[in-house]
Amino acid sequence: MAEEAATSFTSAMTLEQSRVSTIPQRYVFPPSQRPESNLPVAATLPVIDLSLLHDQSLRDQTFREIQIACKEFGFFQVVNHGIDQSVMNDALETASKFFDLPNEEKMRLFSGDVHKPVRYGTSLNHTRDEVYCWRDFIKHYSHPISDWIQMWPANPTCYRKKMGKHSMAIQGLQKQLLRVIFESLGLNPEFLREEIEEGQQTLAVNCYPACPEPGLTLGIPPHSDFGSITILLQNSAGLEIKDHNNSWVPVPYVEGALIVQLGDQMEVLSNGKYKSVVHRATVNAEDKRLSIASLHGFGLETKVGPAPELVNENHPKAYKEFSFREFLDFISRNDFAKGRFLDTLKMN
Ligand code: OGA
Ligand code: NI
């Protein structure tokens, strides 16, 4: 651990616990980047009952809804996805217990190095962010789970068991969703099956403590996730996505639902037919918000480029290949709040 980085470290939880009535200047975003208050809650964001895919008579319609959601938003929520509510609740409770631990305990896992398979931190990367965001996190590689689970937090003692159960369930759901999404692109559902099996799963467990001035800061600034898809579990609302008109749309909290977001690898694979969704998290004055984002992608060194089936005369190849490693190298060199990695891949 870099001494300097560690000594200058203040978690968002520490600030919340010190009951400050205003936020430190370092957390104040420029006015143009602050959240808008009173955005209309969009009734139109898609919520899909995944169980209907198994119903002969409703499969086509449900499939079509997923296709439209991917094209329109790069985003949808799923219900009846087959993961037990108790598994999800346990994971969120475990996350809550982790962030409630004393700082010294959490700092054992601290690292500012984005290449580390397990790391605790605050903001995006507090060693380089110019403006801090109101967020603490623990991120860890999660697949194959036996490779990584020994490195996950040992405290709270239930962490590995409960987070592991959730993580494996989500990994299974991911495979099911990718098959449908590939099919919706006109690809074989078996497309990249082995690469998916050997792909990466990273859990980003996020904590956004109650914030005395939620209008001045963000929990996480606008970005798209790098991978194929992200499956996000949350305990309350706070996520916002950017729609086609470049407007921020708050994502409503739906009991029992999981949020599915398309990432940069999907945009590249689809040769731009689908776009990765730009999103951000706001914070609130009342309650700590927790989320568990499961980021799925291909192997560290696997190069992902547009699917050959989607490249033709009318749709020339629009993106360069990239690997997860190249993405990590990019974010370790650049403040990802400033420029999008995806833009470096666009051709012409
Ligand atoms: C992320 C993310 C959003 C949220 O972890 O990449 O976008 O609502 N999280 O926590
Ligand atoms: Ni994200």
Can you name the CATH fold of 2-344? Jelly Rolls (2.60.120)
**Which ligand sits nearest to residue 136's alpha carbon?**
1
What's the 147 CA to ligand 1 centre distance in angstroms?
24
List CB contacts of 82: < 8 A, sequence separation 6 or more.
50, 51, 173
Report the pLDDT value the prediction gives residue 136, as an integer from 0 to 100. 98
CA–CA dist 221, 217 (Å, integer): 9
Radius of gyration in angstroms for the set of CA atoms belonging to the chain, rounded to a whole number? 19
Q: Please, what is the angle between helix 159-184 and helix 85-99, to 10°?
A: 120
What DSSP string runs through 260-320?
A: EEE-HHHHHHTTTSS-PPPEEE---SS--EEEEEEEEE--TT--B---GGG-SSSS---B-
What is the CB < 6 Å shell around ligand 1?
204, 206, 220, 225, 234, 238-239, 279, 281, 291, 293
* Nearest ligand 1 atom to alpha carbon 135: 10
Name 208's bridge partners: 289
Atom of ligand 1 nearest to the CA of 206: 10
Phi, psi at 267, each rounded to 5°? -60, -45
Residue type, 330: F
First to last CA, the chain: 42
pTM of the model: 0.96
pLDDT tens per residue across all 348 residues of the chain: 444 455 578 999 999 999 999 999 999 999 999 998 777 766 689 999 999 999 999 999 999 999 999 999 999 999 999 999 999 999 999 999 999 999 999 999 999 888 899 999 999 888 888 999 999 999 999 999 999 999 999 999 999 999 999 999 999 999 999 999 999 999 999 999 999 999 999 999 999 999 999 999 999 999 999 999 999 999 999 999 999 899 999 999 999 999 999 999 999 999 999 999 999 999 999 999 999 999 999 998 999 999 999 999 999 999 999 998 998 888 888 766 667 899 999 997
Give me the residues paired with residue 203 across strands: 140, 294
Indicate which residue's Cα is closest to atom 2 of ligand 1: 293
3-state secondary structure of 13: helix
Q: Which chain residues have CB less than 5 Å from ligand 2, an ion?
A: 225
Q: Which residues pair with 279 in a beta bridge?
A: 223, 241
The domain ranges of the chain are 2-344
pLDDT at 6 (0 to 100):
54
- pLDDT score for 128: 84
